[in-house]
C-alpha cells in the first residue's frame, strides 16, 4: 500500500511532503520518544506520533520511513513542514489517538506478516 492509499482510505490530511506520497508503506510504528523510535522503528513504516517539532523529520529520513502521521489533533511546526517538503517525507494528520489509527492500519493488513514478504527487510 502506498502513502496516498492510506490518505484516501482513512481520510488523513496531507500537510507536507506531497512528493513522497507514492512511497510504499510496509509497516507501522507508534512512539513519541525520539531515541526509542530511532532505535526501533522499521524501515518503510508509517510512524504515528504526537510530536510535531522539526526533529521528527530527521528521524523519519534516517530510519527511511514511508510517512509521519501526527496524531491526537496535534499539528506540525512551520519548520517541520518546510523540512518535510525538502526531504519528500509526507506528514499526515489524524485527529484521533495513535491507538485508533494503528488498529485501522493493522486491520487493513499493514504490518501483518503476510504483507511483510513484499518489503525489503
Partner 1 sequence: MPRLKKRFHIRGGDFIRAGEASINIQNLLKSMDFDPRLVRRIAICGYEGEMNVVMHGGDGSLSLEVDAEKLVLELKDSGPGIEDIDLAMQAGYSTAKDDYREMGFGAGMGLPNMKKNSDQIHIESQKSRGTTVQMIFFLSGGEKAD
| Contact set with partner 1 (CB under 8 A) | 32-39, 43, 49, 51, 53-55, 57-59, 61-64, 79, 87
Instruction: Closer to partner 1 by CB, 34 or 108: give it.
Output: 34
Instruction: Closer to partner 1 by CB, 55 or 96: give it.
Output: 55
Min. distance of Cβ 10 from partner 1 in angstroms?
24
Q: Are 34 and 59 in contact (CB under 8 A)?
A: yes
Min. distance of Cβ 78 from partner 1 in angstroms?
11
Min. distance of Cβ 104 from partner 1 in angstroms?
24
User: Which residues touch 98 (CB under 8 Å, ≥6 apart)?
Assistant: 30, 48, 49, 50, 69, 71, 72
Instruction: Closer to partner 1 by CB, 14 or 58: give it.
Output: 58
Q: Which helix (H) or strand (E) holds 107?
A: helix 98-107
> Cα–Cα distance between 108 and 27 in angstroms, integer?
11
Phi first, then psi: what are they for 77, rounded to 5°? -70, 160
Instruction: Closer to partner 1 by CB, 57 or 101: give it.
Output: 57
Amino acid at each position: 500500500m502506498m502513502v496516498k492509499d492510506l490518505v484516501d482510505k482513512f481520510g488523513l490530511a496531507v500537510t507536507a511532503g506531497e512528493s513522497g506520497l507514492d512511497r510504499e508503506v510496509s509497516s507501522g510504528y507508534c512512539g513519541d520518544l525520539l531515541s526509542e523510535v530511532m532505535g526501533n522503528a522499521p524501515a518503510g513504516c508509517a510512524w504515528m506520533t504526537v510530536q510535531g517539532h522539526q526533529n521528527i523529520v530527521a528521524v523519519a529520513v534516517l530510519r527511511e520511513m514511508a510517512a509521519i502521521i501526527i496524531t491526537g489533533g496535534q499539528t506540525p511546526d512551520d519548520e517541520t513542514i518546510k523540512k518535510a517538503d525538502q526531504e519528500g517525507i509526507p506528514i499526515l494528520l489524524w485527529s484521533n489517538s495513535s491507538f485508533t489509527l494503528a488498529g485501522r492500519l493493522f486491520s487493513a493488513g499493514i504490518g501483518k506478516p503476510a504483507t511483510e514478504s513484499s518489503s525489503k527487510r
